[in-house]
Chain A
Amino acid sequence: MSAIRKIAVAMAAATMCACGDKAETPTSATTTTAAPTTILFSGTLQPLGTRFYSYTMTSAGTVSAMLASLERGSTPMNNALELGLGIPAGTGCATSVASNTSTSLIPQLRQDFGAGTFCVRISDKDGLPVPMIFTIRLVHP
């Protein structure tokens, strides 16, 4: 084999090695995500009243709460209410985050929590003219 041919073979081999790494390395990504749990919490809110609902999370993650509907009869209302997330305390719900909000189909609250028992609370601070029916959508891990 001539010197040129030896060089050619060596460089061809080097070329294959140089191109053979990383570009073709397969990686198997395995991601398991538990489906989030959706809770609908509906009830009647009295003027200056408070209602809350407790739920349990078996894993940490982001909780979103949406005051989706407030109705007087079957007419949607836009009164502002206080929507909060927190932990049950005694016979109530001690909120760690809250928002004064009217209805929306976009979550008004998002908060990270660990595993455990938590609660969502709705309160009328301004005084509704009459009792109204609310619906809250809560999504948690």
Chain B
Amino acid sequence: MRAAAIFFIALASAACARTTMFTSPTATVDPETFQRELSGSILPGGSVSRVFETAAPGTVTVLLKSTTPAGIAVGLGVGISRSNGSCALSSAIEAAAGDAAQISIQADKGAYCAKVYDLGTLQAPLPFTISISHP
């Protein structure tokens, strides 16, 4: 009888093992980052902007990937869209494609815009491509 009792106690322990097994929680951060490209053409004196939305607070990076012809400096900025649709800049740089120059800025969750604009030097439309990386 003692053997039977020991057997069933062991059985009970085994049966309950799955419900008493603990795993230590590990804090994880979703590393998902969205990257997109915007191509267009800037007219002399003009600008092109694009709205994007961050799903979480994090780093927003904007890079001028190319212009045609190469080596033309333009303004590159990140900001927030006004109610009239224009892009109100928070940060901007002058950049030429191929430079290491890029904008990297911390942003809260929400809607933002990237803008490429003429610095006052363009004599003809300038095709360009930028990449936008954000959480």
Instruction: Report A97-138 CB contacts with B as 1/0, cut-off 8 Å.
Output: 000000111110000000000000000000000000101010
Judged by a CB distance under 8 angstroms, whether A18 is at the interface is yes
Contact B83 A15, beta carbon cutoff 8 Å: no
Judged by a CB distance under 8 angstroms, whether A8 is at the interface is yes
Interface segment, one of B29-37, B65-73, B74-82, B124-132: B74-82
A106 to B78, CA, bound (A): 13
- Chain B residues 1 to 50 lying within 8 A of chain A, measured CB to CB, are 1, 4-5, 8-9, 11-12, 15-16, 19, 47
Contacts of B11 in A (CB 8 A): 11-12, 15
Judged by a CB distance under 8 angstroms, whether B107 is at the interface is yes
Contacts of B12 in A (CB 8 A): 11, 14-15, 18-19
Contacts of B88 in A (CB 8 A): 42, 68-69, 71, 133, 135
- For the complex, count residues of A whose C-beta is within 8 A of B: 31
Of B78, B81, B90, which is in contact with the most chain A CB atoms at under 10 Å from its CB? B90
Contacts of A64 in B (CB 8 A): 108
Known contacts A69-B88, A103-B91, A105-B108; decide if A42 and B82 are in contact (CB<8 Å).
yes
Q: Separation in Å of the A112 CB from the closest CB of chain B?
A: 17
Contact A137 B89, beta carbon cutoff 8 Å: no
Contact A8 B78, beta carbon cutoff 8 Å: no
Judged by a CB distance under 8 angstroms, whether A7 is at the interface is yes
Known contacts A8-B4, A8-B8; decide if A69 and B15 are in contact (CB<8 Å).
no
> 17 more A-B contacts (CB under 8 A) besides A11-B8, A105-B60, A105-B106?
A8-B8, A11-B9, A11-B12, A15-B8, A15-B15, A71-B89, A74-B117, A76-B77, A104-B90, A104-B106, A105-B78, A105-B90, A105-B105, A105-B108, A105-B112, A135-B80, A137-B110
B binding-site residues for A, Cβ under 8 Å: 1, 4-5, 8-9, 11-12, 15-16, 19, 47, 57, 60, 77-83, 88-92, 105-108, 110, 112, 117
